[in-house]
Amino acid sequence: MGESLIKICIVEDNKYMREGWQTILDFEPDFCVLGAYNSCESAFESGEINRSNVVLMDIELSGMTGIEGVRYLKIHQPKINVIMATVFDDDRNIFDALCAGAVGYLTKKVSPEELCHAIRDAYRGGSPMTPQIARRVISSLHESPDDETKLNERELQILNQLATGNSYKTIAEEIFLSVDGVRYHIRNIYEKLQVNNRSEAVAKGLKKRII
Amino acid sequence: MGESLIKICIVEDNKYMREGWQTILDFEPDFCVLGAYNSCESAFESGEINRSNVVLMDIELSGMTGIEGVRYLKIHQPKINVIMATVFDDDRNIFDALCAGAVGYLTKKVSPEELCHAIRDAYRGGSPMTPQIARRVISSLHESPDDETKLNERELQILNQLATGNSYKTIAEEIFLSVDGVRYHIRNIYEKLQVNNRSEAVAKGLKKRII
DNA sequence: TGAAACACTGCATATTCATGCAGTACTAAC
DNA sequence: GTTAGTACTGCATGAATATGCAGTGTTTCA
User: Å between A71 CA and D30 C1'?
Assistant: 35
Length of chain A: 211
Strand C closer than 7 Å to the CB of B192? Answer: no
Instruction: Return all residues near B105 (Cβ < 8 A) that are at least 6 apart.
Output: B83, B84, B86, B89, B94, B97, B98, B128, B129, B130, B133
Instruction: List A58's β-bridge partners, or say none.
Output: A85
Q: How confident is the model at residue B100 (pLDDT cuts 50, 70, 90)?
A: confident
Which whole number is the average pLDDT over A9-37? 95
> Which residue in A83, A141, A208 has the most chain B C-beta atoms within 10 A of its own C-beta, making it the best mutation to test that interface?
A141
Task: Give the residue ranges of DSSP H helices in A36-65.
Answer: 40-46
How far apart CA A50 and CA B177 sit, in angstroms, is 43
Could you state, in order of their start, the residue ranges of all structural domains in chain A?
6-141, 145-207
Which whole number is the average pLDDT over B92-101? 84
Q: What is the pLDDT of residue B137?
A: 86
User: Which CATH number is B145-207 given?
Assistant: 1.10.10.10
Nearest CB among A99, A127, A132 relative to B126 is that of A132
CB B82 within 8 A of CB B102: yes
Nearest CA in chain A to B196: A165
CB pairs under 8 A between A and B: 128
Nearest CA in chain B to A209: B99
Q: Would you list the DSSP string of A139-190?
A: HHHS----SS----HHHHHHHHHHHHT--HHHHHHHHT--HHHHHHHHHHHH
Whether pLDDT at A18 is above 80: yes
How far apart CA B86 and CA B94 sit, in angstroms, is 9
Contact between B163 and A203 using a beta-carbon 8 Å cutoff: yes
Burial label for B56, CB within 10 Å (0-12, 13-18, 19+), is buried
How far apart CA B142 and CA A52 sit, in angstroms, is 20
Residue B184: nearest nucleotide (C-alpha to C1')? C8
CB A103 within 8 A of CB A82: yes
How far apart CA B197 and CA A13 sit, in angstroms, is 46
Nearest CB among A103, A134, A203 relative to B206 is that of A203
Distance from CA of B141 to the nearest CA of A (A): 5
pTM value > 0.75: no
CB A201 within 8 A of CB A195: yes
Which whole number is the average pLDDT over B39-53? 93
Phi, psi angle pair for B169, to nearest 5° = -60, -50
**Which of strand D's nucleotides are less than 7 A from any protein C-beta?**
7-12, 15-20
Which whole number is the average pLDDT over A69-98? 86
User: Å between B196 CA and D30 C1'?
Assistant: 36
Q: Which residues touch strand D (CB under 7 A)?
A: A 152, 154, 177-178, 180-185, 197; B 167-169, 183, 186-187, 190, 196-198
Amino acid identity of residue A36, one-letter, is A
Contact between B137 and A137 using a beta-carbon 8 Å cutoff: yes
Between the alpha carbon of residue A51 and those of residues A79, A101, A122, the distances in Å are 10, 18, 16
Evaluate whether the domain defined by B6-141 bears CATH number 1.10.150.130: no
Whether pLDDT at A36 is above 50: yes
Q: What is the pLDDT of residue A140?
A: 76
pLDDT digits (tens, 9 = 90+) for A130-173: 888 888 888 877 766 554 567 878 888 899 889 999 999 999 98
Nearest CB among A102, A131, A143 relative to B127 is that of A131
How far apart CA A181 and CA A55 sit, in angstroms, is 56
Nearest CB among A98, A132, A195 relative to B141 is that of A98
Q: Which residues of A are less than 8 Å from B129 in CB distance?
A: 134
The end-to-end CA distance of chain A, in Å, is 42
User: Å between B194 CA and D21 C1'?
Assistant: 22
Q: Which residues of B are less than 8 Å from A200 in CB distance?
A: 163-165
Whether pLDDT at B48 is above 60: yes
How far apart CA A183 and CA A39 sit, in angstroms, is 56
Residue B190: nearest nucleotide (C-alpha to C1')? D18
Q: Which of A55, A76, A72, A54 is nearest to A63 (CA)?
A: A72
Which whole number is the average pLDDT over A49-55? 95
CB B121 within 8 A of CB B128: yes
Closest residue (CA to C1') to nucleotide D19 in the complex: B187
**Number of helical H runs and strand E runs in chain B:** 10, 5
pLDDT digits (tens, 9 = 90+) for A91-135: 778 888 888 889 999 988 889 999 999 999 999 999 998 888 888
